[in-house]
Amino acid sequence: MDFDLRHVMVTGGTGALGSAVVGALVTAGAHCLVPYLVEKEAQRFPHRGNLQATLIAAGDLSDETAVARLFEVVPELWASIHIAGGFAAAPVEETAKADLMQQIEMNFVTAFLCCRAAVRRMGAHGGRIVNVAARPALEWRSGAGMVAYTASKAAVAAMTVALAEEVAKRDILVNAVAPSILDTPANRAAMPKADHAAWPKVEDVANTIVFLASPDNKVTRGAIVPVYGRS
């Protein structure tokens, strides 16, 4: 895959999956724009100093003004990849409205606003958008114990498919991936007795995302791609 210095926005690009995506994109020749919320995210970013990965202090991506300002800095946007989000698990009777709204803001609203800004920026020249849903967005019963999170990610999946149909004639191909539990140090620490070998590796999930965002993807749109590994 050759991105030929195309500009790619990667929200959540300082996290475990995001850093793997940025690494794969840089290797493929892309110029990545990586927004961050707090300085410690920028400090731990493994590609800090790479001329093909530009960190941007963007603020809260659930804020319309912040998102509009962020996308205005892109000279010509080829792809927008939306990994930013958050996770919370709790029984429904212990989930307050504020908890529900936080999951919707962090997962769905951020993705929606970034998709909207990307479509506006791409205009008529086309491009690629990739969102990140989750396994419970496809397999609702697996979302027991994390209903608010499941609902927010299911909204991301539904938006992806609807938007893909809306902008297809403009050569903007919109897709999403739906990971199961990713093999990261944080997840291993949280679940030390799990079968970590079965979990999908962030590098492999990143490669799927990068393909969907690449010029090599000429036909795939409206897909919610399961990236479960052997789990």
Q: Which residue has the tokens 């990140």?
A: 132
Residue 123 above 90 pLDDT? no
Contact 89, 134 (CB under 8 A): no
Q: CATH no. for residue 147?
A: 3.40.50.720
- What is the domain count for the chain? 1
Alpha carbons within 13 angstroms on the beta-carbon side of residue 127 total 23
How far is it, in rounded angstroms, from Cα 90 to Cα 86?
14
List, for residues 5-54, the tens digit of each pLDDT value. 899 999 999 999 999 999 999 999 999 999 999 999 999 999 999 999 99
Categorize the per-residue pLDDT at 75 as very low, low, confident or very high, splitting at 50, 70 and 90: confident
Range of the domain at 119: 7-227
Sequence letter at residue 53 = A
207 domain-assigned? yes
Fill in the amino acid letter for 170: R
**pTM of the complete model:** 0.96
What are the tens digits of pLDDT across the range 158-207? 999 999 999 999 999 999 999 999 989 999 999 999 999 999 999 999 99
Which region, left, alpha or beta, applies to residue 68 given φ > 0 means left and ψ of -120 to 50 means alpha? alpha
pLDDT band of residue 94 (cuts 50, 70, 90) is very high
Ramachandran bin of 126, using left for φ above 0, alpha for ψ from -120 to 50, beta for the remaining angles: left
What is the predicted pLDDT for the residue at 1?
Answer: 83
- Angle (nearest 5°) at CA 31 between 69 and 12: 60
> What letter would DSSP give residue 209?
H
* In a domain? residue 1: no
2 in a structural domain: no
In a domain, 223, yes or no: yes
